[in-house]
Structure 1
Amino acid sequence: MASLRILCQVELPSGTLRFWDGSGGPFIDVDGEIYRACVLTEDALAQIEAAINAEAFTLTLVLSGVDAATSDKVWADYQAGTIVGSTFRILLQKCDEYEQPVGSPIIKFTGTVSNLNFVDQASDNGIKSTIQVDVANRFTLRNVTNGAVLSDVDQRARAMVLNPSAPDDRFCERIPGLKDRTIRWPNW
């Protein structure tokens, strides 16, 4: 029976980090890339599904069980202030009945890291690191850091940078004209 693996890939300045949702040893895809095991929270699948379907504009994932070397690498980038803006991808990998990868993974979501939080818990068994990653996708274009909405001029400038081949973005100037319109549905 075939199965799917959820893979996460983060392009940090210090290198690419790869995780797969599950427990056990590393997962090696058909290209030879090694994905380390991590555990996503229970509601992560629903959030991933919403992000893939373009229903969510910010995806918050909590990665637990991250090994010390990976955590140290992420911490160094965090201290250097280079984490925000890093590319984050979620991929789906088909596996055969022996849990071996079939074909290349399919990219289902691409965003940029907008925030990162560390939570370390010490116990008799050692230190357990948990990393909370907030990932923003293209649907955050209308918001700025302080939560305000972009002005018409800001929106046009940002649209030109993000999609230079598209026509001029006139969204902001058209919205005020819609306030006096009445939507009639259904129209029998």
Structure 2
Amino acid sequence: MAIQSLRVLCQVDLPSGVIRLWDGSGGPFVDDAGEIWRACVLTEDALNQIEMAINAEAFTLALVLSGIDEKTSNQIWQDYQSEAIKGSRFRILLQECDEFEQPAGNPDVKFTGRVDNLLFSDTANSSGIQSTVTVEVTNRFTLRTLANGSVLSDVDQKARAKVLNPSAPLDRFAERVNTLRDKTIRWPNW
């Protein structure tokens, strides 16, 4: 079976339930596991940011999701109002599809982060209300910087990483940077 196309999938694990969105227009997309993914539109800028996040270049990912249906928008809004949305897991997956646009195998997780902030925008027109949600997602690389933009020292980073992620192994980022100076960088790194 030849792979014909890829679908970009976004999954948000909110306290009230999982929201599954796919980048494209049309009806719902049903994966091999029977999960329903609803259509939304990612902006061109969002796709560039996803590429940078997949390649570990960006530590804050701001995705603009437009064309979200009313039910999904209301679910996100309720979680946002209850202040329970911050820290929810956000994943970007790539799904290979065959020549009939049917899923071929399981999707590959390419980016995992945590929701840091949401921005809502609704516009009304003759066809109804169109919701746009900007999701700001951070990943583990956010640990390296402080709110004022300064970079943590190695000792401070190890202490902060231990507090924020106690089950993770010891943060050895600063020790490993020196070993990377003779490495070759490839682009893109899918």
Q: Equivalent residue of 2:81, what SS? A: helix
Indicate yes or no: 2:105 matched with 1:103. Answer: yes
Name the counterpart of 2:77.
75
TM-score by length of structure 1 reads 0.84
Paired with 1:21 and 1:48, the residues of 2 have a C-alpha distance of: 12
Output one character per residue of 1:110-129: Cα deviation in whole Å (capped at 9) or x when no partner: 00111100001112222110
Name the counterpart of 2:136.
134
Q: Which amino acid is the alignment partner of residue 138 of structure 1?
A: R
Equivalent pairs counted in the alignment come to: 175
Show the 5 A alignment for 1:59-74: 59-74=61-76
Name the counterpart of 2:88.
86
Paired with 2:101 and 2:166, the residues of 1 have a C-alpha distance of: 39
Q: Equivalent residue of 1:72, what SS? A: helix
Name the counterpart of 1:30.
32
Q: How far 1:85 moved relative to its partner?
A: 0.6
Of residues 166, 169, 176, the one that matches 1:166 is: 169
Q: Which amino acid is the alignment partner of residue 61 of structure 1?
A: L
Paired with 2:173 and 2:52, the residues of 1 have a C-alpha distance of: 27
Output one character per residue of 1:99-141: Cα deviation in whole Å (capped at 9) or x when no partner: 0001111000000111100001112222110000011111111
Output one character per residue of 1:31-76: Cα deviation in whole Å (capped at 9) or x when no partner: 0110000000012221111100001111111000001111010000
Q: Which amino acid is the alignment partner of residue 116 of structure 1?
A: L
**Contact 2:157–2:171 (CA<8 Å) still a contact in 1?**
no
Larger Rg: 1
Q: Which amino acid is the alignment partner of residue 73 of structure 1?
A: Q
Runs of at least 5 residues in structure 2 that lack an aligned partner in the other structure: 182-190
1:124–1:86 distance in 2 versus 1, CA, 3 Å: same
Q: How far 1:150 moved relative to its partner?
A: 4.1
Name the counterpart of 1:155.
157
1:12–1:145 distance in 2 versus 1, CA, 3 Å: farther
Paired with 1:104 and 1:68, the residues of 2 have a C-alpha distance of: 28
Paired with 2:28 and 2:105, the residues of 1 have a C-alpha distance of: 18
TM-score by length of structure 2 reads 0.83
Structure 1 residues 5-14 or 148-157, which shifts more? Answer: 148-157
